[in-house]
């Protein structure tokens, strides 16, 4: 029988919330796309067969918030090593570049990475190059709403919207904070895009942010434990957060190792507030934390916090695909979608994850990457430690 498929994944346990598919299936890929998902696909129909019996087959993971302006910003991560090695095939840069240096991000990072990259453009024209020396929004006179919007419109294939950090370290004062948020929303409205808002270290009550946001806007660090978090003094989710959820505001984790309080997350989830998307806010080790959590770490943490497996996978695949407007292509194993697949295993052991507030989370299993397929090609880490898709 002639070969019909380039690659066949055989014998795995498929979890694909986008199609409500759960169970033992084979997955075939050809031409860089998913070709078929079925209970049994003959091995002689494929050029290559990978036996993944006993392992999880899920759509390629999507990290909605990371920092990938590698070598231009000293703490930004190398996309392929940070992402593909952990089953992440698509990632979104959370405002590391602004309109003045975005061309470098596009030409030197996006075009040279196997990882599929998108971004939110920082409302600061310089992006985050000044961290940790100076807040990027201390001086709002350098912000140009028109040029920010024009850059987004010109590069709408990559740029999803505007990023603004509502944080003491970014803005310095309450007055500057509100003005920066307003300017970011103006740029998003003029470009027909969305706003991504960082709310950790927020100088103003969170309700003043949530009340200003629109359907499709994204709030990152939703479970941070600093002043003006999403919980009131009685540890109840504030009404404005529930109202924002009803309006279609997206709640993203953006763990980072420094922007989550496990007690806040547990309390909010017990009240029924689940995150829409899981993400890392990844950076290089040793800058902000010794070992930033990977996407698989974040997924493992939320599984341990009580989030159902189906929702953990959905919040790492189908949900972020919808947020970036790519549900037809990404976050799914439906035939015709991009050939992005993560093959994972549940690793048993004694593992401990800590947050910066002194809370420890002990777990007995975590996700481990076994195989990453991006655009139909297997990712491989070579002996010289360089990564490539083959």
Q: In what order do the strands lie in the sheet with 250-252?
A: 61-66, 88-94, 116-122, 159-165, 194-198, 218-220, 250-252
Tens-place pLDDT, residues 302-336:
999 999 999 999 999 999 999 999 999 999 999 99
CATH label of the domain that carries residue 33: 2.30.40.10
Tens-place pLDDT, residues 8-46:
999 999 999 999 999 999 999 999 999 999 999 999 999
348 forms beta bridges with 365
Statement to judge: residues 50 and 71 lie in one domain: no
| Whole-number Å distance between alpha carbons of 377 and 114 | 10
- Domain annotation covers residue 363: no
Tens-place pLDDT, residues 340-363:
999 999 999 999 999 988 999 999
Residue 204 pLDDT: 86
Among residues 54, 71, 90, which one ends one of the domains? 54
Q: Are strands 21-30 and 33-38 parallel, antiparallel or unpaired?
A: antiparallel
Q: Which of 70, 58, 172, 165 is nearest to 115 (CA)?
A: 70
Statement to judge: residues 6 and 123 lie in one domain: no
Is residue 351 a contact partner of residue 363, using CB atoms and an 8 Å limit?
yes
Number of domains comprising the chain:
2
Is residue 261 a contact partner of residue 224, using CB atoms and an 8 Å limit?
yes
Q: Which of 124, 119, 159 is nearest to 144 (CA)?
A: 124
Contacts (Cβ under 8 Å, ≥6 apart) of 212: 181, 182, 185
What is the mean predicted confidence (pLDDT) over 59-68? 98
Give the SS3 label for residue 189.
helix
What is the mean predicted confidence (pLDDT) over 359-380? 94
Is residue 86 a contact partner of residue 127, using CB atoms and an 8 Å limit?
no
Give the SS3 label for residue 144.
coil
CATH label of the domain that carries residue 283: 3.20.20.140
Other residues' Cβ atoms within 10 Å of the Cβ of residue 250: 24
| Whole-number Å distance between alpha carbons of 201 and 179 | 17
Give the SS3 label for residue 370.
strand
| Whole-number Å distance between alpha carbons of 71 and 77 | 8
Q: What domain range is 263 assigned to?
A: 60-323
Among residues 302, 323, 344, which one ends one of the domains? 323
- Domain annotation covers residue 364: no
Q: Which of 43, 63, 62 is nearest to 51 (CA)?
A: 43
Torsional sign, CA 367, 369, 370, 373 = positive
- Domain annotation covers residue 332: no
The overall average pLDDT reported for the chain is 93
Statement to judge: residues 66 and 49 lie in one domain: no
HSE-CB at 47 with a 13 A cutoff on CA atoms is 9
Tens-place pLDDT, residues 254-276:
998 889 999 999 999 999 999 99
Residue 385 pLDDT: 46
Backbone φ and ψ of 327, nearest 5° = -65, -30
| Whole-number Å distance between alpha carbons of 130 and 100 | 14
Residue 228 pLDDT: 84
Statement to judge: residues 172 and 141 lie in one domain: yes
- Domain annotation covers residue 334: no
- Domain annotation covers residue 344: no
The reported pTM is: 0.95
Statement to judge: residues 38 and 162 lie in one domain: no
Give the SS3 label for residue 66.
strand
Q: Which of 198, 139, 189 is nearest to 165 (CA)?
A: 198
Is residue 340 a contact partner of residue 90, using CB atoms and an 8 Å limit?
yes
For 260, the token pair is 């989550």
Among residues 299, 323, 347, which one ends one of the domains? 323
Statement to judge: residues 17 and 77 lie in one domain: no
The distance from CA 69 to its chain's CA centroid, rounded to whole angstroms, is: 15
Contacts (Cβ under 8 Å, ≥6 apart) of 234: none
- Domain annotation covers residue 90: yes
Statement to judge: residues 101 and 202 lie in one domain: yes
Is residue 266 a contact partner of residue 305, using CB atoms and an 8 Å limit?
yes
| Whole-number Å distance between alpha carbons of 255 and 117 | 19
Residue 140 pLDDT: 94
Statement to judge: residues 143 and 12 lie in one domain: no
| Whole-number Å distance between alpha carbons of 384 and 366 | 28
- Domain annotation covers residue 328: no
Backbone φ and ψ of 62, nearest 5° = -125, 115
174 pLDDT band, cuts 50/70/90, is confident
Residue 265 pLDDT: 97
Using the structure block, give the residue that is written with the tokens 């346990």. Answer: 13
- Domain annotation covers residue 390: no
Statement to judge: residues 8 and 123 lie in one domain: no
Using the structure block, give the residue that is written with the tokens 């929303």. Answer: 185
Residue 203 pLDDT: 87
| Whole-number Å distance between alpha carbons of 175 and 327 | 38
Statement to judge: residues 67 and 49 lie in one domain: no
Residue 287 pLDDT: 67
Tens-place pLDDT, residues 210-256:
999 999 999 999 999 877 899 999 999 999 999 999 999 999 999 98
Statement to judge: residues 151 and 203 lie in one domain: yes
Statement to judge: residues 87 and 197 lie in one domain: yes
């Amino acid at each position: 029988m002639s070969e019909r498929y380039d690659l066949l994944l055989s014998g795995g346990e498929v979890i694909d919330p986008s199609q409500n598919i759960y169970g033992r299936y084979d997955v075939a890929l050809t031409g860089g796309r998913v070709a078929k998902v079925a209970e049994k696909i003959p091995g002689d129909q494929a050029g290559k067969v990978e036996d993944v019996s006993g392992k999880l087959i899920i759509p390629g993971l999507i990290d909605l918030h990371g920092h990938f302006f590698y070598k231009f910003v000293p703490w930004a991560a190398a996309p392929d090593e940070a992402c593909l090695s952990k089953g992440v095939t698509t990632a979104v840069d959370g405002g590391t570049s602004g309109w003045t240096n975005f061309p470098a991000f596009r030409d030197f990072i996006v075009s040279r990475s196997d990882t599929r990259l998108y971004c939110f453009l920082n409302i600061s024209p310089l992006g985050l190059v000044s961290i940790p020396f100076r807040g990027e929004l201390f001086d709002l006179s350098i912000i140009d709403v028109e040029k920010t919007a024009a850059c987004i419109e010109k590069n709408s294939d990559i740029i999803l919207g505007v990023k603004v950090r509502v944080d003491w370290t970014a803005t310095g004062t309450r007055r500057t904070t509100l003005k920066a948020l307003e300017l970011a929303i103006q740029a998003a409205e003029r470009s027909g895009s969305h706003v991504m808002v960082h709310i950790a270290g927020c100088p103003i009550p969170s309700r003043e942010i949530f009340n200003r946001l629109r359907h499709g806007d994204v709030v990152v660090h939703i479970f941070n434990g600093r002043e003006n978090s999403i919980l009131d003094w009685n540890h109840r989710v504030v009404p404005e957060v529930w109202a924002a959820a009803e309006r279609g505001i997206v709640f993203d984790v953006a763990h980072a190792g420094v922007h989550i309080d496990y007690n806040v997350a547990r309390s909010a989830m017990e009240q029924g507030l689940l995150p829409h998307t899981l993400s890392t806010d990844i950076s290089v080790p040793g800058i902000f934390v010794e070992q930033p959590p990977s996407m698989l770490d974040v997924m493992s943490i939320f599984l341990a916090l009580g989030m159902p497996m189906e929702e953990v996978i959905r919040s790492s695949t189908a949900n972020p695909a919808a947020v970036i407007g790519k549900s037809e292509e990404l976050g799914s194993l439906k035939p015709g979608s991009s050939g992005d697949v993560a093959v994972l295993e549940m690793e048993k052991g004694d593992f401990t994850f800590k947050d910066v507030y002194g809370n420890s989370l002990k777990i007995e299993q975590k996700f481990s990457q076994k195989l990453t397929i991006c655009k139909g090609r297997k990712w491989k880490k070579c002996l010289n430690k360089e990564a490539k898709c083959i």
